[in-house]
Amino acid sequence: MNLSLRSSSVLDGTTHVDLATSTVRELNGALHALKPDTNETLWKIANPRGLHAIAAGLDLPVSVEIDGPVGYYCGGMNKQARIIIEGTAGVGVAENMMSGLVHVKGDASQAAGATGNGGLLIIDGNASARCGISMKGIDIVVKGSVGHLSAFMGQAGTLTVLGDAGEALGDSLYEAKLFVRGTVAGLGADCVEKEMRDEHKALLASKLEAAGILGEVDISEFRRYGSSRTLYHFHVDNVSSY
């Protein structure tokens, strides 16, 4: 048991932390202090009550299961860890994630997975505006719908949406790949629908498989969106888009 935590207990190899009596600082401090050979590999967090930066900056293959809603930046900059949120997530869940898994069982607020470099973010409910903004290699699977400006300036990675997408999807997109099953309210500047070839179907299938829903949805129902790359160079003909 970690001594810096005021209220934690270890039962059956599971560390229990109650955020009604321990602080986020104590929790994160204890998680950051874990050694690579730790046997405290499963953490159950009670009473998260929308607190911010829960389980931010982890860098070990541990599991953190959070029982309830979290505030901003839960799992921020995650590396390796598996973070499960049994509730809704505030702004910037899994922002700048490097690797590992963040799974939101409820809805997520704005900028979910923002700037993520790697790892997998699964959102069972809906994600709000700017989901995957400036994404840099993360894979995001949203089972519901995403709000406006999702994948804005997306540089790399995939955004898969089983529901609908809001206005200006993929605005100023670089090389991120977007798959949407439902309707798209509008495409942003430089974002176009692209042909769904076999390699893209295989890529989508691999993401659905990672999210544990391969076979539950029909891949042929998805459309692919990507960059038309016309804004890659400053050009007089593109002035209206600048």
Partner 1 sequence: MNDITNTPRTTPRASATFDEYTLSEIRRAAATGIYDIRGAGAKRKVPHFDDLLFLGASISRYPLEGYREKCSTEVLLGTRFAKKPIALKIPITIAGMSFGSLSANAKEALGRGASAMGTSTTTGDGGMTNEERGHSTQLVYQYLPSRYGMNPDDLKRCDAIEVVVGQGAKPGGGGMLLGQKITERVAKMRTLPVGIDQRSACRHPDWTGPDDLEIKIEELREITDWEKPIYVKVGAARPYYDTALAVKSGADVVVVDGMQGGTAATQEVFIENVGIPTLAAVRQAVKALQDLGMHRKVQLIVSGGIRNGADVAKALALGADAVAIGTAALVALGDNDPHYAAEYEALGTKAGAYDDWHEGRDPAGITTQDPALMARLDPVAAGRRLANYLAVLTLECQTIARACGKSHVHNLEPEDLVALTIEAAAMANVPLAGTDWIPGRGGNF
Residue ranges that bind partner 1, judged by CB under 8 A? 24-25, 28-29, 32, 52-53, 56-57, 59, 71-73, 76-77, 79, 91-92, 95-96, 98, 110-111, 114-115, 117, 130, 133-134, 136-137, 152-153, 155-156, 172, 174-175, 232-236, 239
Considering beta carbons, is residue 136 or 177 the nearer one to partner 1?
136
Question: Between residues 51 and 161, which has the closer beta carbon with respect to partner 1?
Answer: 51
**Shorter beta-carbon distance to partner 1: residue 2 or 110:** 110
- Contact present, 156 and 174 (Cβ < 8 Å): yes
Per DSSP, the chain holds a count of helices (H) and strands (E) of 2, 12
Q: To 10 degrees, the CA torsion angle through 193, 194, 196, 200?
A: -110
- Residue 4: other Cβ atoms inside 10 A: 12
How far apart are CB 18 and partner 1 at their closest, in Å?
18
Closest CB 94 distance from partner 1, rounded Å: 10
Amino acid residing at 201? K
Spacing of C-alpha 87 from chain mean position: 14
- Cβ 57 to partner 1 shortest distance, Å: 3
Half-sphere exposure of 209 (CA within 13 A, CB side): 6
The least distance separating partner 1 from the CB of residue 200, rounded to whole angstroms, comes to 19
Q: Can you tell me which residue has the tokens 């860098």?
A: 59
